[in-house]
Amino acid sequence: MEALIALVIGVLTAGGVFLALRGQTFPVVLGLTLLSYAVNLFLFVMGRLAIGVPPVISETASGYTDPLPQALVLTAIVISFGMTAFVIVLALKARAELGNDHVDGLEREEDRGA
């Protein structure tokens, strides 16, 4: 199971990094979203993998997993949303002001040549 999670984190990271390196805004936003999944998962599993032991105190519970990474990741998820929202609106603003959706605000090669 550990190998599976490590693989999933790796795939998410690879996809996120590749998309973040693209030249247009929309794939970069997708890439950042994938990267936040990867980071959130990575932070979460720092508490190690455990099945069926949620950190909710009860008399019948057999044990509890580490609640601390979960608390960190919970806010991280919400903050990631705030960041994604900000970046996508920034992309819209850039498109409105610069007339294109390139991350560097550049015209496409063929447009520039014309």
Partner 1 sequence: MTLLFTVLIPFAGAALVALASHFGRAYSAWAAGVVIFASMVLLAPLASLPFAGEMLIQQQDWIPALGLNLAFRLDGLSLLFAGLILGIGLLIVLYARYYLSERDSMGRFYAYLMLFMGSMLGIVLSENLIQLLIFWELTSLSSFLLISYWQHRREARHGARMALAVTGLGGFAMLGGFLLLGHIVGSYELSDVFASADLIRAHPLYVPTLGLILLGAFTKSAQFPFHFWLPHAMAAPTPVSAYLHSATMVKAGVFLLARLYPALSGTPEWFWLVSGAGLATLLLGAYTALFKHDLKGLLAYSTISHLGLITLLFGLSTPLAAVAGVFHIINHATFKASLFMAAGIIDHEAGTRDMRRLNGLWKYMPHTATLAMVAAAAMAGVPLLNGFLSKEMFFAEAVHIAEGHGNWLLPALVTLAGAFTVAYSIRFIHDVFFNGEPVDLPKTPHEPPRWMTVPVEILVVLCLIVGIAPAFTVGPLLAVAAAGTLQAPLPEYQLALWHGFNTPLMMSLVALALGTAIYLVRRPLITWHEAGIGRADARVVYNALVNGLISAALRVTRAFDTGSLQRQVFLFVGAALALGGAPWLAGETPFTGSRAGLPPDAVSLTVAATLILATIATVIWHRRRFTALVTIGVVGLVVSLAFIKFSAPDLALTQLSVEVVTIVLLLLALYFLPQHGEAEQSRARVRRDAVIALVAGLGTAALAWAVLTRPYDTIAGYFLENSKPRGGGTNVVNVILVDFRGYDTLGEITVLALAGLGIVALLQNLKLAAPLRDATGRLWNADAHPVIMATLTRILLPLALLVAVFILLRGHNQPGGGFIAGLVTAVALTVQYLANGAAWTNARMRAPFSHPSSLPQPGEGANVMPTPTASPPSPQPSPRTGEGANVMPTPIYDSHPLIAWGLGIATFTGLASWAFGHPFLTSTFGYLDWPIVGKFELASAMAFDLGVFLVVVGATVMILTGLGGLHRTEPVRPETR
* Nearer residue to partner 1 within complex by CB, 104 or 114: 104
Could you tell me the smallest distance in angstroms from the CB atom of residue 114 to partner 1? 15
* Nearer residue to partner 1 within complex by CB, 56 or 114: 56
Could you tell me the smallest distance in angstroms from the CB atom of residue 82 to partner 1? 4
Judge contact between 103 and 32, C-beta under 8 A: no
Could you tell me the smallest distance in angstroms from the CB atom of residue 11 to partner 1? 5
CA 108, chain centre distance (Å): 28
For residue 31, give Cα distances in angstroms to 3, 11, 28, 77.
23, 12, 5, 15
Helix (H) or strand (E) holding 54: none
